[in-house]
Amino acid sequence: MHLATCRTGKVFILYDADSLCDANLTPQITPQLFSPAYWREKGRVVGEAPGRGSSLFLDAGSAQWVLRPYRRGGLMARLSRQRYLWTGLEQTRAFRELHLTAELYARDLPVPRPVATAVTRYGLFYEAALITVRIAGARSLADRLTERSASVELLEAVGRTIRRFHDTGLDHVDLNARNLLVDAKERVWLIDLDRCRLRTPGSWQANNLERLERSLAKFGASAAGVTIRRGYA
């Protein structure tokens, strides 16, 4: 995967040149592809994921994409739900997440293939959105827990998958049951790497697991944490 950057006016786009360039190496991506309104007008929205960002599932022709606008939560959302302070292009949350996702993807870790991200600058602030390839047939671990269809084998696989990421050094700051996906073959995937980073070993691994266990409790599945930790070990 080769990442490249292009600019159209006040919009900066970081994209996978291997999949988004034609034979003449011209990027086949425009700012409108990051607009939910554009896809709705085309009638190519095929679904929507839960969450404050309202991620859309898109029919992109040869594949399905996930478009996720960046949205704030908590107290900061009262000031602005979608604008962030500009401190440089490479420091934007969108560029950092796409670079990290591409690195983990290159290491053959189970993350969605990154497509592109767009950052639109408004003076001291910016807005952003991210596009990744949709994982076919994937559903969240939260859904499986709610349906009581998460087997012991699956939960142990969740633990092993988290351990793979931790051994690589990934600190997932929002590890929860919605950010773990399970595909039709029961393979476990990790999504939403916003604000995540690669680190040396430390207390963050335990913090990740404890955050996940709090999430499991919200879905009435506290006991699942024991099985996940067994797989992790």
Supply the residues annotated as catalytic: 174
Identify which of 95, 121, 110 has the alpha carbon closest to the alpha carbon of residue 15: 95
Q: How far is CA 97 from CA 10, 29, 114, 136, 211, in A?
A: 20, 19, 9, 21, 20
Residue 2, both tokens? 């080769």
> What 3-state DSSP class applies to 65?
strand
Rounded Cα distance, 108 and 152, in Å: 25
Buried b (16+ CB within 10 A) or exposed e, 49-62: eeeebebbbbbbee
- Cα 117 to Cα 73: distance, rounded to the nearest angstrom: 20
The C-alpha atoms of residue 189 and residue 120 are separated, in whole angstroms, by 29
Residue 67 CA to residue 184 CA, distance in Å, equals: 22
